[in-house]
Amino acid sequence: MKKQDITVILLSYNTKKITETCIIKLKKSKDFCEKKLGNKIKVIVVDQGSKDGSALVIKNKFNWVNVLSLSENLGFAKGNNLAMRQVRSPYILLINSDTFLNKDTLYKVLKNMDENPNIDMLQVGFRYANGGFEPCGGYLPNPLNTILRFFEVDILLYNIGLIKPIPVMGFSFYAKDREMEWISGAFMFLKSQVFEKTKGFDENIFFYGEDFEWCKRIKDAGFRIQYTSKIWVTHLSGASTHNENGSSYIKQLKGYLYYHEKYFPKYHGAVKSALILSLSLKTVLFAVLDNAKARVYKEILRESLKL
């Protein structure tokens, strides 16, 4: 097995305790891999203007970590791209601060890539903190599967074999290794040449949708994205994004609309109209069933009209 260096990049934004845990677990995986292979693993933490003292704590407690302290939150895409431009190693690992590696994670992913040179980007399995399975990818958006997702019938139609949904939720999909159309930005292990050729995430996207947008360009450039069921990490899912009052859902919707405006401009209007209709129906439905949810959907609808 070749001695290949890795640069690990993680973003931090007001998640001091979680980021500390992430780095501690990362250090164990780093030490294990370096001892086994004799390679070098560099770690870059991009602190996006945190107000909780994250950057100072990381600098003081983990002097082996390279900290890029930004004055403001530039977003997921810009933050990662900024760090990736500094990479000189053949491999890059992007993780969220709420993604926790196991001791042998780095060794195993590097071994997987070494044994499968046709793979350019690798996704591992995700588990929640309680050990439960978490979906982590699927099929690229198109006008049909996006509209069906807005109306929340995409998974039903997938289960009877009619469509390919954007996120695939069923465990059976992830039970075996497979080529993927897109993978989650919470863990992306890739060859540096992928970034060099595609220039990374689209910086017009602040957060949500940047992973499948980049994966589309990666696929279009001829690179192979692979999922492996043999390696897994823990993902707290949402701990690093501060989901409040439907704000994360609004950002997701904005990502979908931007993607269609960029790649399916003829259908952008139809997709947006379907979004407004689906939110209107949900607002009416939950007005009867759950007033709290109705208020959230009403706010989401109001914000969506501005998109």
Residue-wise pLDDT tens for the chain (307 aa)?
778 999 999 999 999 999 999 999 999 999 999 999 999 999 999 999 999 999 999 999 999 999 999 999 999 999 999 999 999 999 999 999 999 999 999 999 999 999 999 999 999 999 999 999 999 999 999 999 999 999 999 999 999 999 999 999 999 999 999 999 999 999 999 999 999 999 999 999 988 899 999 999 999 999 999 999 999 999 997 655 544 457 788 889 999 999 999 999 999 999 999 999 999 998 888 777 777 777 787 788 888 777 7
* Contacts with 71 (C-beta within 8 Å, 6 or more apart), sequence order: 49
> What pTM was estimated for this model as a whole?
0.94
Provide the pLDDT for residue 248: 81
Provide the pLDDT for residue 142: 98
Residue for token digits 């969506």? 304
CATH homologous superfamily of 6-135+170-235? Spore Coat Polysaccharide Biosynthesis Protein SpsA; Chain A (3.90.550.10)
Question: DSSP assignment, residue 167?
Answer: B
Q: Domain limits of the chain?
A: 6-135+170-235, 137-168+243-307
Total residues belonging to the chain:
307
Provide the pLDDT for residue 243: 47
Q: Count CB-CB contacts under 10 A for residue 37.
A: 20
| Integer Cα distance of 182 and 198 in angstroms | 15
Q: Which residues pair with 46 in a beta bridge?
A: 11, 68
Beta strands in the chain (DSSP E): 6-12, 41-48, 66-70, 91-96, 99-100, 121-127, 133-134, 137-138, 178-179, 182-183, 187-191, 225-235
